[in-house]
Amino acid sequence: MTALLLSMTLCGSAAAQAWQPDFNASAFKGPASGPANEVLVLGSPHLSQLPKTFQAASLTLLNERLAVWKPQAIAIEAVSGPQCDFMRRYPARYKDSIGAYCRDTAPARLATGLDVPAATEAAEALLAAWPAAPTPAQRRRLAALFLAGGEEASALVQWLRLPEAERRAGDGLDAALVGVLVKLETRRDESLMIGALLAVRLGLERLYAMDDHTADSATGDEKAFGDALMKAWDNPATKQRTAVDKAQEGLLASAEGVLAMYRADNAPGQAALVYRSDFGAALNEPSVQRFGRQYVGYWETRNLRMAANIRGVLGMRPGQRMLVIVGASHKGYLESYLHQMHDVRIVDAASVLR
């Protein structure tokens, strides 16, 4: 009887794995007429974590190639002001995430008198009636609203679009907020050094924060969780990635070297290497608590919600060209998820960076 039950279980499991849905969303592409949405997902290292040999000027060639592609919208790996406002309502679950990913909007609230929801609504209303040639006062006002709404990167776009003589306090920007914007100008962050500077260069008014941390939660036994993952990550694929990262450190002083690094991070096969090193290894981690599968569940949920945020922006104005700047480990997942959307075409990053 035991053998029979085991056989039935194995057969059922094999049948479940063999079955495939008869509907594949990615096989039904449209529209029949009009432009599809084009999405270029740029996998990036987090610039804040690079050695001091890296300088902002080394991004010149990369930014030139991205500018030639002419994105009409730019999404960045940042948590939106409204999502941070939501997480602040649940500090027991999100305390650590708030500290790591959410901007302090209190100074901007003091300067503007607006909380995050009110500032977000005011910024959207201002953009809806945005003139072709906004005045410096309008740009300062919009920058202040973005800061009050928790959208620092978009505030920097407005600040940098001002003539230098107009980058001053006024129209909602007080001295404290001006200080915030001045510091943002030199912060080592790909969302700013690539995303914001490209937006200014291309005449865009804002960036779209598409990261998501609502899947974050406490893991219980954090030490056991961390130990299990570290053991899973000790594998040949991780050693290969570590060796490549070490070799790339010598490239960071030149624009040619940084472009070569981005080409490598966005090359065919890189996403599969990341999977074998990280998420695939975690998926098969053998702890009784299934820590690895908890981690993979979090990772897939986060990326699905990031993809949904991107899709939401594309849906507001169909037929646009969007650049997504994201940590390199997210690239393969976002491309895979977005490829399922009916009117989304994924652009080969390697061809743009060539």
pLDDT digits (tens, 9 = 90+) for 160-191: 999 999 999 999 999 999 999 999 999 999 99
Give the pLDDT band of residue 34 (cuts 50, 70, 90): very high
Strand partners, 41: 324
Q: Is pLDDT of 280 > 80?
A: yes
Residue 19: inside a domain, yes or no? Answer: no
The whole-angstrom separation of Cα 346 and Cα 321 is 10
Give the pLDDT band of residue 33 (cuts 50, 70, 90): very high
Give the pLDDT band of residue 5 (cuts 50, 70, 90): low
Q: What is the mean pLDDT of residues 272-295?
A: 97
pTM (whole model) above 0.85: yes
Q: What is the mean pLDDT of residues 289-308?
A: 97
Helix (H, G, I), strand (E, B), or coil: what is residue 205? coil
The whole-angstrom separation of Cα 344 and Cα 318 is 9
Q: Is pLDDT of 6 > 90?
A: no
Helix (H, G, I), strand (E, B), or coil: what is residue 131? coil
Say which DSSP state 346 is in.
E
Question: Which segments within 8-80 are labelled E, that is strand?
Answer: 37-44, 73-79
Residues 57/75, Cβ–Cβ less than 8 Å? no
The whole-angstrom separation of Cα 92 and Cα 352 is 44
Q: How many CB atoms sit inside 10 A of residue 27's CB?
A: 8
The two structure tokens encoding residue 191: 């969302």
Integer angstrom CA distances of residue 28 from 31, 41, 175:
9, 21, 53
Residue 10: inside a domain, yes or no? Answer: no
What does the pLDDT read at residue 14?
Answer: 62
- Mean pLDDT, the chain, integer: 95
What does the pLDDT read at residue 340?
Answer: 97
DSSP class per residue in 265-323: HTSTTHHHHHHHHTHHHHHT---TT-HHHHHHHHHHHHHHHHHHHHHHHHHHSSS-EEE
Q: Is pLDDT of 9 > 60?
A: no
Say which DSSP state 250 is in.
G
% residues pLDDT > 90 (the chain) = 91
What does the pLDDT read at residue 62?
Answer: 98
% residues pLDDT > 70 (the chain) = 95
Count CA atoms within 13 Å of residue 227 on its CB side. Answer: 6
Q: Is pLDDT of 99 > 70?
A: yes
- For the chain, helix (H) and strand (E) counts, in that order, are 19, 5
Residue 107: inside a domain, yes or no? Answer: yes
Q: What is the mean pLDDT of residues 56-70?
A: 97
Residue 136: inside a domain, yes or no? Answer: yes
Q: Is pLDDT of 222 > 70?
A: yes
Kindly report, residue by residue over 229-278, the tens digit of the pLDDT. Answer: 999 999 999 999 999 999 998 889 999 999 999 999 999 999 999 999 99
Residue 26: inside a domain, yes or no? Answer: no
Kindly report, residue by residue over 117-135, the tens digit of the pLDDT. Answer: 999 999 999 999 999 999 9
Least confident of 72-81, 201-210, 223-232, 245-254: 245-254
Residue 3: inside a domain, yes or no? Answer: no
Looking at the structure of the chain, the number of domains it has is 1
Q: Is pLDDT of 4 > 80?
A: no
Residue 80: inside a domain, yes or no? Answer: yes
Residue 7: inside a domain, yes or no? Answer: no
By residue range, what is the domain housing residue 107?
A: 32-353
